[in-house]
Chains A and B, each alone.
Chain A
């Protein structure tokens, strides 16, 4: 089954304000993805462009990006699942290749969030919920995850200090990532003493809005082998949803969409959680990483805190997670994030990571969530 591979993966620097247009931003990721490959844009049969609308004014951005990268007249498609758009794009690209329609497909994710003020961006994310029934109460992304955090604390005794320890780890690794927005090491005290945004989540429990792009190039197996010395195989894919409303959630101690996506991806890849050598998980907030430990089966429900307490998710631990600094360090340009996570795992499996390199990593996992657990995507890659 492993007959689609990632042959190239790139990203721009993620920053608070890039000072350029979305097309120029996308070029940076596209260039890094193509570098070192013996192909040009002419060899790319189709593109899937991924972002969440309403941050910049451009409508139908896929056509614009396609023109700038000179991918016309090849077909291009626009895909959106908010913060997991580019993982969904990867799934669409995989399907296009498996269906025999295309041999080589570029998945380009971007977001330029600096076009909006912080409050306006929060309002857009609030409308990523149900605009009749829940957005009018002033729900935000951090508020949704904060309710998960509070419920996890009440049920399992998780503390604010446990959450802060996730940021301590991710800030440690962010220092060495030249593509990251936040590159300072943070102490437990600094995190715990930071301003309360939406209880129990504080400023440093939250990732930052950012500008950025990512590009992942997928190819059919035979093509991949002829182009790339180190194709990274797509071994498993999982995708699932949960309700748009918070009112529809069966549980607030884990993300059902992530649990279901993980089940599918493990099954397709024929691997178990303990087979994963390195993982990138969607740490939009510190609590999101703790939930991911449990939803992905790295720990039993309620026992995720043990992994961070015992430093098992550090680079030399049992299951290294977000050793590129995660969204908490890199920043979260929502449409670009999934592709950036894929890029990190590809570099880990090739042994090319310039941040912390996990020794002899063979199987890697990406967990990318859209909204407050509305869209779950898990991708398993293999060397």
Chain B
């Protein structure tokens, strides 16, 4: 399985990093690390442009992240009309990576503060789709 069921609307399916989806189905959000030079990547990369190696390994993003910024999107593009309003957020993690995702609908707008603690977690969407989202803590 590739990225065909990833997010609200997916635009392409095939990628060498499609194992990401298998692991997401299994409850883990993963990033890649180059076995040769140690470079870590999110979004995951199958190849390391630093040392030109394609010997990369998966590691789980387990740390607590911090909210860098967010926005409440009231006007969704085509394909996302029925999702709005939704909250997009960027969070920074100890693994030296940042992730863009939505905030869980459990989090109310009034409770959001820049710098708040978040973790990233898989989320099942309607019609067999899957993504990851930020949850509190």
Hey, which bits of chain A sit against chain B, CB under 8 A? Answer: 117, 119-120, 122-123, 125-127, 130-140, 142-143, 146-148, 150-151, 154, 195-201, 245-249, 252
Closest B residue by C-beta to A118: B75
Residue B68 at the chain A interface, CB threshold 8 Å:
yes
The distance from the CB of A140 to the nearest CB of chain B, in whole angstroms, is 6
B74 & A151 in contact (Cβ 8 Å cutoff): no
A137 & B70 in contact (Cβ 8 Å cutoff): no
B9 & A117 in contact (Cβ 8 Å cutoff): no
For B8, what are the chain A residues with a Cβ–Cβ distance below 8 Å? 136-138
Residue from B12, B68, B81, B98 in contact with A131 in the complex, judged by beta carbons closer than 8 Å: B12
A-B contact pairs, 25 of them (CB 8 A): A117-B78, A119-B81, A123-B77, A132-B6, A133-B43, A136-B6, A136-B8, A136-B131, A137-B7, A137-B100, A137-B131, A138-B80, A138-B86, A138-B88, A139-B100, A140-B76, A143-B88, A147-B69, A147-B88, A150-B71, A199-B74, A246-B100, A249-B98, A252-B68, A252-B69
Residue from B7, B72, B99 in contact with A136 in the complex, judged by beta carbons closer than 8 Å: B7
Number of A-B residue pairs at CB separation under 8 A: 124
Closest B residue by C-beta to A154: B114
B73 & A138 in contact (Cβ 8 Å cutoff): yes
The distance from the CB of A297 to the nearest CB of chain B, in whole angstroms, is 24
A130 & B43 in contact (Cβ 8 Å cutoff): yes
Q: Mark B95-124, 1 if CB is under 8 A from A, else 0.
A: 001111110000000000011000000000
Residue from A150, A198, A246, A248 in contact with B74 in the complex, judged by beta carbons closer than 8 Å: A198
Q: How far is the CA of A195 from the CA of B88 in the complex (A)?
A: 19
For A246, what are the chain B residues with a Cβ–Cβ distance below 8 Å? 90, 98, 100
Contacts known (A132-B12, A137-B8, A138-B8); A143 close to B73, Cβ less than 8 A: yes
A198 & B71 in contact (Cβ 8 Å cutoff): yes
Which residues of chain B from 1 to 45 have any CB-CB distance to chain A below 8 Å in the complex? 3, 6-12, 15, 42-43
For B9, what are the chain A residues with a Cβ–Cβ distance below 8 Å? 135-136, 138
A154 & B88 in contact (Cβ 8 Å cutoff): no
Residue from B3, B68, B71, B77 in contact with A119 in the complex, judged by beta carbons closer than 8 Å: B77
The distance from the CB of A193 to the nearest CB of chain B, in whole angstroms, is 15
B77 & A147 in contact (Cβ 8 Å cutoff): no
Residue B79 at the chain A interface, CB threshold 8 Å:
yes
Contacts known (A140-B73, A246-B100); A135 close to B11, Cβ less than 8 A: yes
For A139, what are the chain B residues with a Cβ–Cβ distance below 8 Å? 88, 100
Q: How far is the CA of A107 from the CA of B72 in the complex (A)?
A: 38
B12 & A247 in contact (Cβ 8 Å cutoff): no
Residue B55 at the chain A interface, CB threshold 8 Å:
no
For A133, what are the chain B residues with a Cβ–Cβ distance below 8 Å? 43, 100
The distance from the CB of A170 to the nearest CB of chain B, in whole angstroms, is 21
Closest A residue by C-beta to B81: A119
For A131, what are the chain B residues with a Cβ–Cβ distance below 8 Å? 11-12
Q: How far is the CA of A343 from the CA of B13 in the complex (A)?
A: 43
Residue B83 at the chain A interface, CB threshold 8 Å:
yes
For A248, what are the chain B residues with a Cβ–Cβ distance below 8 Å? 98
Q: How far is the CA of A209 from the CA of B101 in the complex (A)?
A: 26
